[in-house]
Amino acid sequence: MNMESTPQERKSGSSKVIVVVALILLIGADVFLLWQLFDTKEDFKEANSINKVQKTTIDSLNMEIDALEGKLKELERQKEELGVSDSTHQAEIDQLRRQIPLMRSAVKGGNPAEITKLKNELKKANEKADAERMRAETDRSILTNDTKNARDSLNKARELAEKLTRDKSSLSKKIKEGSALKADNIIGMGLKVTSKGEVPTPKAKKANKIKVTCKIQQNLVAEPGPKMIYMRVLDPSRQIITSNANEKFTFEGSELPFTYSQEIDYQNKDREVNMKFGKSTAFVKGSYTVEIYESGLMIGKSSFTLK
């Protein structure tokens, strides 16, 4: 037997249908939202990956720009150190330096097209900078080699000049020594002055004067003409006997007082020289030293004794 549904039952059934449909729609919306969320996460991951790559590229480009700027600074330092003034190559360095701010601006903008273009510009800029560096190193090598050659030449010239100076000095010394007069047979004695004249005496207490004779030897190399002979006589206490200590002659850069001087006419032949002198005080016993000088050289030396 069929029973017709009551209005309350029909109302309850419709409500269930509505709930079911609502649940289905809600589930579908959740599924759609989940799908959208998953798709968004994937897009985010992809974007994040792209950003990481982009950041790495930007960091790398900034490092390359820093390296390029460092190269330019080093190039300018080298050129200044070498004193190289090349307007053409300096202009290239200046042009590269002006590009650096533009490069940094392009990197900061992060435009892919600009970054790609910047990579090419950086490559060309580095090639130019490397070429300039090689040129600077070549200039340094040439300058170093030229400096070494100049130093070697200067050292050789200095050594030659020093050798010539030594040779000249040695030759001058030999000529001076070769042309110097020589005094030998130097004999000293005491003289006693009597009414009959001057008589030799070996006694110090009897001597009023001292007489020195010597022979100036023949020297064909010496210049003939007047020669000034200086004699120094030192007493037993090694004191110079002189009548005027202010009268001096030059010997080896020093001014020496002398006992007696005499100018002779020397004509490249043996020449006897006699020199006599007295003093206000008595002579003392002992050994007396006689030194003969001419032209700043000692040409003879001897000694004698007064008893």
Question: For residue 127, what pLDDT band results from cuts at 50, 70 and 90?
Answer: confident
Q: How many CB atoms lie within 10 A of CB 90?
A: 15
Residue 150 belongs to a domain? no
Residue 29 belongs to a domain? yes
Report how far residue 118's alpha carbon sits from residue 124's, in angstroms, rounded to the nearest whole number. Answer: 10
Residue 241 has pLDDT above 60, yes or no: yes
Higher pLDDT, 230 or 24: 230
Helix ranges restricted to H, the chain: 7-82, 87-109, 112-179
Range ranked top by mean pLDDT from 4-8, 113-117, 203-207: 203-207
Same domain, 130 and 192: no
Same domain, 110 and 187: no
- Mean pLDDT rounded to a whole number for the chain: 77
Same domain, 115 and 221: no
Same domain, 213 and 287: yes
Question: For residue 53, what pLDDT band results from cuts at 50, 70 and 90?
Answer: very low
**Where is the domain boundary, 117, 137, 157?**
137
Residue 49 has pLDDT above 50, yes or no: no
Same domain, 260 and 193: yes
Same domain, 126 and 201: no
CB 239 within 8 A of CB 286: no
pLDDT the model gives residue 47: 43
**Where is the domain boundary, 82, 117, 137?**
137
Write the pLDDT tens digit of every residue in 176-211. Answer: 667 789 999 999 999 999 888 899 999 999 999 999
Q: What's the rounded mean pLDDT across residues 267-278?
A: 93
Q: What's the rounded mean pLDDT across residues 86-100?
A: 67
Query: Which amino acid is residue 164, in one-letter code?
Result: L
Same domain, 191 and 302: yes
Residue 168 belongs to a domain? no
Question: For residue 37, what pLDDT band results from cuts at 50, 70 and 90?
Answer: low
Owning domain of residue 92: 17-137
Counting the structural domains of the chain, the total is 2
Residue 300 has pLDDT above 80, yes or no: yes
Question: For residue 44, what pLDDT band results from cuts at 50, 70 and 90?
Answer: very low
Residue 197 belongs to a domain? yes
Residue 268, domain CATH = 2.60.40.10
Residue 287 belongs to a domain? yes
Same domain, 187 and 271: yes
Question: For residue 26, what pLDDT band results from cuts at 50, 70 and 90?
Answer: low
Same domain, 123 and 218: no
Same domain, 130 and 194: no
Same domain, 110 and 204: no
Q: What's the rounded mean pLDDT across residues 86-114?
A: 68
Count Cα neighbours of 128 within 13 Å in the Cβ-side half-sphere.
20
pLDDT the model gives residue 248: 94
Question: For residue 171, what pLDDT band results from cuts at 50, 70 and 90?
Answer: low
Same domain, 90 and 195: no
Burial of 217-236, coded b for 16+ CB within 10 Å and e otherwise, reads bebeebeeeebebbbbbbbe
Q: Residue 181 is encoded by which pair of tokens?
A: 């007069």
pLDDT the model gives residue 195: 86
Pick from 22-26, 209-213, 258-262: least confident: 22-26
Residue 206 has phi, psi (to 5 degrees) of: -95, -15
